[in-house]
Chain A
Amino acid sequence: MVIENRWPVMAGARFLPVGRLDDLIGALHADGRRVVGPVVEDGGIKMAEIERAAELPFGWTASAAPGLVRLSRRPANDRAAGRAFDNGPAWSGIKPWTFPSRVDALTVETREDGSLGVRVEAPANQPTAVIGARACDLAALAVHDRVLAGGPAIDPDYAARRADLLVVAVECALATSTCFCTSMGTGPEVTTGADVVLAEVDGGFVARSDSPAGERLLAGLDLAEAGPLRVGAAIEQVTKVRDAMGHAVEAEGLHDRLLANLDSPRWEAIAERCLACANCTLVCPTCFCTGTVIESDLDGRESSATRQWDSCFTAGFAQVAGGGSFRPHHADRYRQWLTHKFATWWDQFGSSGCVGCGRCIAWCPVGIDVREELAAIAGPAITDLPAAAPATTPAAAPIAVKGTRILAMAPTALQPGSIRTDYVTATVTEVRPETADTATLRLVTGDAALLAARPGQFVMVAVPAFAIPPISISRINPDGLELTIRAAGPATSFMTRLRPGAELALRGPLGRPWPIEDAYGRDVAIVAGGIGLAPLRGLLDQVLAERDRFSSIRVYLGARTPRDRLFVAEMDALAAGGLDIRATVDRAGPEWLGRVGIITDIFRNAKATGQNVTAFVCGPERMMTAVVDVLGDLDVPREHTWLTLERRMECGVGLCGHCQLGSRFVCRDGPVFSVAELGDDLRREGL
């Protein structure tokens, strides 16, 4: 059946004799492209820059099993001894060429005159042609197109590389035991995404074009028609590959089955074998998480930020200021990887994150097989499955999987490319100490986007030599912003000690603001713990400016001690003006005559129902969960209880992957969420 279906696309295919492969490469070179193809290196086949066809792995074949890859020379009497691509997908895939392991991102410097220079590095790319990409590679490319270039924030480096990429794909002639693209509906037949598709047959290649650029390339080579015999052989070959793979993963409904098994004992069992070495994520053609490395000169006047591949298997990946990691155990990290790849990826990007290439299986140094783990965690068992092949689906389109519940994520409705990724400078005009370790910086900027920031949003703040932290906006003035910063690490310590006149580089505003309109006509409760008042201060400004739109306004403030309270004079003045502000501190000296006790105590004797209340809560996560409990007891609706979460945010725009919480990117989809939206994820440890 598959053979019949594929006749139409193969009609008119041409024949490229193997001896003319160099003409193809030459044409690509003449087009100004570097050419990348599979080569044998150190016992594996990887993608590398090539000059001529002879560098391709002619005569090699490969076998792969969990944690085990072997190359061998085909014997001279083997029919495929003269073939270049009859050896499975290259282990490196084409990711190193479209999404390199290291990319210069940003340079920040203090100039001679003391002003700040910020330069977002322009993509440095050379037009590239890839020969030998497989169906799984193309499916992965389509996934990256959605992740890195199809969302509200676009990775400029990827976009530039992608625009200059030409792909000469090759139909697979060999399935290793780790291949399972048929299960994921991505192969082995090359359907979309290539410019030219080759199928290797005796003496050469059945070649067809699938884009205008590909057609120009083939037309220039002046090839003869392949004829039905060769086309038939090509189709038969890829069909055999399909049949050899069988059906190892039941993708239908996998999203729901996995998420229903977040507490499976299997996670702990995997953790005994899993080394958390990150190999699976780095050889995965769709994994896109990156980390930022800052290098500076000895004087701290200039620094450059480099973006490099990172992995959710490292401890630092989910770490926040103060040293705590949200995923301390290997089991947490494996769960994050597997559930993201096979489940929450659907929620985020409308497709699976897995293309079935099997690289994570073959290249796991201890041979952990995702197919086996998926069957154990989210059955049905492999052996119970019917052997029937699922329908092939074009890789570029989101794959519809019946019975999968996809969460509607409001932020994905943002226009592609609508989030800015550039920096602007702003000048510090005032530094107001708030507590021993916290200061408010008043900044002036003419940047229209920054001035249009809304309460609850944040900015990434860069100064030379330091990491680039996300800082929430504590007030929006007509001429600039205020940032209230606690010295939680070196960068923030430095910022709290700046002087008027200093410049900062800002990127933003980023993230989802407080939904103030949710409180129109309702009772507003603003609940802040410690530094959590900072992002709520702008909200309070706005609520007071629109006072008549709310039936009542109350502010509940918690702090560790009286000296740790923020904006004391401002809050006192508001209270004196009649605003209902209730403050408590965790402990105090005898000079403090106000309330002492944890913030939830304030609500202890509340009698009335909270059904008409919209609550905005910010503070340490532990304080927020306690407050959420109390508000729940008072019948404040979960969909009217709003929190802002803290996670490690490096890019701030949903591209680096660090701040994921289940299906959410906290930086982009939040940081403000309602308790109803978060559901069980709010309290789940290690997510």
Chain B
Amino acid sequence: MTTRITSALDRLSPAVHARLAELTRPVAYPAGAVILREGTDTPFLGAILEGRVALRLRVPERGDRVTIVTVEPGELLGWSAVVAPYRATVDAVATEPTRLLAIDAVALRDRLAADCELAAELLPLVLESVSDRLSGSWQQLLDMFGARVHEPW
């Protein structure tokens, strides 16, 4: 049950992987770098290779931020790059020095519209990433560890 991690994109077929490579560039961020900003355009869809990215939301009225989930090597970052209105729904901050493969958002959307085979392979991975975030949020809503005592006694 080791967790040897490679890029999420390794799950694509070699042909699609190669076509996508044209749109992809490696990027590195130091710890503390803000990769995505909530409400702004998502510049790319990223595949984390190394490091850790915290997805954070601002707590209304308190001003500070809470980390909802971290994105780890092997996972995708920035699904909003391909889902309208293409704006980031959270802040994404590198908590460790992080390397990722970034696929340019605009070019990717053009390619998805033109290349059905690529879309058929890539979009399920994106949906999986959305699904993971969603089910994670649901589990947190249940607050599995947070059973409280209701009685004042």
Interface residues of A (CB under 8 A from B): 321-324, 487-490, 493, 523, 525, 529-531, 554, 558-560, 564, 586-590, 592-598, 600-610, 613, 619-620, 622-623, 626, 634, 636
Contacts and interface: CB of A to CB of B under 8 A. Distances in A.
Interface of B: 1-5, 31, 52, 54-56, 64-70, 72-75, 93, 95-96, 132, 136, 139-140, 142-151, 153
A375 to B, nearest CB: 41
Given A607-B4, A610-B1, A588 B66 contact: yes
A488 B2 contact: no
Given A488-B149, A560-B143, 17 more contacts: A487-B149, A488-B147, A529-B145, A530-B145, A531-B145, A560-B145, A564-B145, A586-B145, A587-B67, A590-B67, A595-B52, A595-B72, A597-B69, A598-B140, A603-B3, A605-B73, A605-B74
A489 B151 contact: yes
A320 B31 CA distance: 44
B144 A623 contact: yes
A528 B142 CA distance: 17
Contacts of B65: 589-590
A636 B1 CA distance: 9
B137 to A, nearest CB: 9
A593 B96 contact: yes
A59 B132 CA distance: 77
Nearest to A624: B144
A500 to B, nearest CB: 25
Contact of A601 (B4, B132, B142): B132
Contacts of A559: 145
A596 B70 contact: yes
Contacts of B146: 560
A525 B136 CA distance: 22
Tell me whether chain A's interface is mostly helix, strand or loop, or mixed.
Answer: loop
A610 B96 CA distance: 29
27 contacts: A324-B147, A488-B149, A523-B1, A530-B145, A560-B143, A560-B145, A560-B146, A586-B144, A587-B67, A588-B67, A590-B64, A593-B95, A596-B68, A598-B136, A598-B144, A603-B1, A604-B132, A605-B3, A605-B72, A605-B74, A605-B75, A606-B2, A607-B2, A607-B3, A609-B1, A613-B1, A626-B139
Contact of A596 (B3, B69, B74, B75): B69
Given A593-B96, A596-B54, A323 B151 contact: yes
A608 B95 contact: no
Contacts of A321: 147, 149
A488 B95 CA distance: 34
B56 A586 contact: no
Contacts of A592: 67
A417 B47 CA distance: 61
B55 to A, nearest CB: 8
B126 to A, nearest CB: 15
Residue among A558, A601, A636 having the largest count of chain B Cβ atoms under 10 Å: A601
A604 B145 CA distance: 20
Contact of B68 (A558, A587, A609, A622): A587
Residue among B1, B3, B66, B148 having the largest count of chain A Cβ atoms under 10 Å: B1
